[in-house]
């Protein structure tokens, strides 16, 4: 067959599979959060629908789908409908450059990553920047002062922490020597646990900054003032109902999953096992092909666990404390980290 | 293949630019301009400038246009009104600009053979080459632009401050 | 294989559309956005020439143009906010006198 056609069809297959996996992941992250927050607060989470509440996301999806979709009369309709589309679209787009496993070519097409761009890391930052529009337009088009306030606060928070996010990744890029995500993971998988960027690459401070900035970028506790129910009557998605609200909800959890994937790729060595090359001949070729995927999912899951744990435990920042933290603390710390990393790399 | 992609994204560019001019409300013009900038980013990718394509999305679509959107939201200026000034500008402006576009098109089409064609090969200039030239030969302009941004930040804060 | 001329024609078209917007629009913010459109058209022709000659300096110049455009957008929008505060309108036909 024409190689271009093969490439096209295989890419379409990868996109379809990953979109379905991402959406299922979003649904089950919601369940994870509800059960975990429930346990932290000494109660069961959802446990009636299916064994251990595992069918809850499906039932929730059906409920949100059947709710009445009200559009208030005085909203600016085109933007009101466009905003959740932008939010959900941008949160699902980043999956296109994330590699899940080592390079495995089938008919000349890499099967564990949709596309390996030379500037893959910057694409993820760009998609995060464009995702701000979903929130800004939602708040303004709702024609509601609480929505406008919530969306302006949230957009200002996102823009401020984007800087710290980008700068904290520069240390990783310096060590890997490339912006391509596959190269960054390959530069960490030499010796198992100690060659990961978190430990052997001395990027602990960058990891801390990245984690703080990512919590602020995804509007999650302790930085979730813009959507806190008790402060702003649900902020920028006050006027949304049914599917559009579900899209904002899914966009938030999709962003969480994206951020966790990027954190595992950059700081925890991606799909490489913590034992390095000691178990290479264990279990035969099929197990060896599946193992990296297993390690990747385990690491992403641990990040999601950390996310929910922090949400259930810490109180919320006030808005001025939030902005001061981002500009006066994280930004200088990120710059110091870049200087220290480049000094270390030159003197090595 | 290259030609098809160029026509799709070039057409999207022009359509969004025309839409920006036809819309009455400034927020719709801002969104059309974002579409223009994103399709220009794809055209830069087609020309092999991958870092520039991503910088276009991060800086232009993701920062400058967010600034425009914020100002439109904060000032809450409504739809445009038609005034006699705009009619006069249209009567004189359209013919003059049509002539300008015709002159440019004729002069560009006459040198078509001499300029050659763009190929979809691997990017000629990767990020390493770009950064090597930027941080060695052109270090002084780079530092000067950083001072320029500092001045712009100070100026913007001083100008937009509320009167006490 | 796309002739470089097509890219240059597109750039000229965007530039002329920017001038059209600058002349006919009456809202101050939209006029400013047309200026950004002109800058983008010029950026495209720089990148096309950089591809043609195989030089990286064309792309670096585009990088500097982006930086300058960002600085100009920040200061220009701050001026627009200051104008709006004193005149309470954004229509260019009403802001054409120095007298308030």
Q: Is the pLDDT of residue A31 over 70?
A: yes
Q: What's the rounded Cα separation, in Å, for the pair B54 and A333?
A: 25
Say yes or no for a CB contact (<8 Å) between C67 and B108: no
Cβ of B63 within 8 Å of Cβ of A129? The answer is: yes
**What mean pLDDT, rounded, does chain A reach?**
85
> CB contact, 8 Å: B74 with chain C?
yes
Does the pTM exceed 0.80?
yes
Nearest to A61 by CA among A236, A245, A228: A245
In the A/B pair of chains, how many CB contacts fall below 8 A?
Answer: 60
Q: Which residue has the higher pLDDT, A285 or B18?
A: B18
Give the separation between CA A148 and CA A330, rounded to whole angstroms: 27
For A130, the token pair is: 């464009």
What token pair was written down for A40? 């932290």
Per-residue pLDDT averaged across C53-64, rounded? 89
- Residue B158's φ and ψ, nearest 5 degrees, are -70, -35
Backbone angles phi, psi at A86, to 5 degrees: -65, -45
Q: For chain B, what percentages of helix, strand and coil (3-state, to nearest 5) are there?
A: 80, 0, 20
Residue of C nearest to B11 (CA): C10
The answer to whether A217 and A128 are in contact (CB under 8 A) is: yes
Task: Specify the pLDDT at position A8.
Answer: 87
**Which helix H or strand E contains A21, and what residues bound it?**
helix A3-40
Query: What distance in Å separates the CA atoms of residue C7 and residue C10, rounded to the nearest whole number?
Result: 5
**Beta-carbon count within 10 A of A348 CB:** 5
Cα B31 to Cα A102: distance, rounded to the nearest angstrom:
39
Report how far residue A119's alpha carbon sits from residue A24's, in angstroms, rounded to the nearest whole number. 28
pLDDT digits (tens, 9 = 90+) for B30-80: 999 999 999 999 999 888 888 999 999 999 999 999 999 999 988 877 666
- Average pLDDT over chain B, rounded to whole? 86
- Between chain B and chain C, the number of residue pairs with CB atoms below 8 A apart is 239
Whether residue B6 lies within 8 A of chain C, CB to CB, comes out as yes
What is d(CA A53, CA A32) in angstroms, rounded to the nearest whole number?
Answer: 10
> What are the chain A neighbours of B68 within 8 Å (beta carbons)?
none
CA–CA separation, A157 vs A243, rounded Å?
26
Is B72 an interface residue toward C (CB < 8 Å)?
Answer: yes
- CB atoms B134 and C13 under 8 Å: no
Please give the angle made by the CA atoms of B66, B69 and B71, to the nearest 5 degrees.
110
Contact between residue A143 and residue A75 where contact means Cβ atoms under 8 Å apart? yes
Contacts of B among chains (3+ CB pairs under 8 A): A, C
pLDDT of C61: 93
Q: What is the Cα–Cα distance from A157 to A324, expressed in whole angstroms?
A: 10
Domains and CATH numbers, chain C: 4-87 (1.10.287.3510)
Query: Which chain B residues are closer than 8 Å to C62 by Cβ?
Result: 49, 52
């Amino acid at each position: 067959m024409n190689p271009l056609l093969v490439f096209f069809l295989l890419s379409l297959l990868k996109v379809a599979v990953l979109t379905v996996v991402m959406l299922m992941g979003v649904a089950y992250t919601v369940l994870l959060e509800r059960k975990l927050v429930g346990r932290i607060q000494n109660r069961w989470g959802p446990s009636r629908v299916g064994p251990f509440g595992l069918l809850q996301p499906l039932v929730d999806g059906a409920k949100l789908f059947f709710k009445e979709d009200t559009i208030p009369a005085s909203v600016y309709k085109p933007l009101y409908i466009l905003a959740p589309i932008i939010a959900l679209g941008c949160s699902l787009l980043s999956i296109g450059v994330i590699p899940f496993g080592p390079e495995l070519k089938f008919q000349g097409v890499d099967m564990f990553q949709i596309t390996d761009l030379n500037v893959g890391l910057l694409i993820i930052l760009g998609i995060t920047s464009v995702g701000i529009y979903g929130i800004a337009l939602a708040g303004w088009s709702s024609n509601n002062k609480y929505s406008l306030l919530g969306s302006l606060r949230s957009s200002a928070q996102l823009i401020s922490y984007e800087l710290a996010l980008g700068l904290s990744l520069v240390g990783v890029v310096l060590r890997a020597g490339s912006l391509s995500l596959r190269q960054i993971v390959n530069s960490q998988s030499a010796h198992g646990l100690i060659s990961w960027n978190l430990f052997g690459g001395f990027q602990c401070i960058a990891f801390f900054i990245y984690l703080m900035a990512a919590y602020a970028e995804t509007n999650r506790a302790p930085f979730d003032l813009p959507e806190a129910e008790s402060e702003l009557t649900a902020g920028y998605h006050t006027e949304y109902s049914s599917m559009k609200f579900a899209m904002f909800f899914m966009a938030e959890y999709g962003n969480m999953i994206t951020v966790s994937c990027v954190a595992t790729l950059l700081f925890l060595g991606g799909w490489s096992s913590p034992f390095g090359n000691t178990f290479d001949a264990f279990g035969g070729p099929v197990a060896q092909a599946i193992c990296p995927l297993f390690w990747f999912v385990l690491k992403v899951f641990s990040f999601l666990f950390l996310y929910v744990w922090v949400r259930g435990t810490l109180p919320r920042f006030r808005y001025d404390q939030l902005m001061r933290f981002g500009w006066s603390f994280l930004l200088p710390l990120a710059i110091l980290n870049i200087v220290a990393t480049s000094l270390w790399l030159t003197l090595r | 293949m290259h030609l098809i992609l160029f026509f799709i994204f070039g057409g999207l560019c022009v359509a969004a630019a025309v839409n920006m001019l036809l819309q009455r409300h400034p927020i719709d013009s801002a969104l059309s301009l974002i579409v223009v900038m994103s399709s220009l980013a794809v055209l830069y990718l087609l020309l092999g400038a991958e870092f520039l394509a991503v910088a276009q999305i991060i800086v232009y679509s993701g920062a400058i246009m967010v600034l425009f959107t914020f100002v439109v939201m904060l000032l809450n200026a409504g739809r445009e009104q038609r005034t006699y000034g705009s009619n006069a500008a249209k009567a004189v402006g359209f013919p003059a600009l049509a002539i300008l576009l015709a002159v440019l098109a004729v002069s560009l089409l006459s040198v078509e053979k001499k300029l050659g064609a763009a190929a979809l090969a691997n990017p000629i200039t990767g990020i390493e080459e770009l950064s090597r030239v930027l941080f060695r030969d052109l270090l002084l302009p780079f530092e000067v632009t950083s001072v320029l941004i500092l001045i712009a930040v100070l100026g913007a804060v001083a100008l937009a401050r509320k009167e006490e | 294989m796309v002739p470089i001329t097509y890219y240059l024609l597109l750039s000229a078209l965007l530039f002329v559309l920017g001038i059209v917007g600058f002349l006919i629009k009456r809202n101050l913010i939209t006029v400013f956005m047309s200026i950004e459109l002109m800058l983008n058209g010029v950026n495209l022709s720089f990148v096309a020439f950089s591809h043609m000659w195989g030089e990286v300096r064309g792309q670096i110049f585009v990088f500097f143009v982006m930086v300058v455009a960002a600085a100009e957008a920040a200061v220009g929008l701050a001026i627009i906010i200051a104008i709006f505060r004193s005149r309470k309108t954004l229509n260019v036909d009403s802001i054409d006198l120095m007298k308030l």
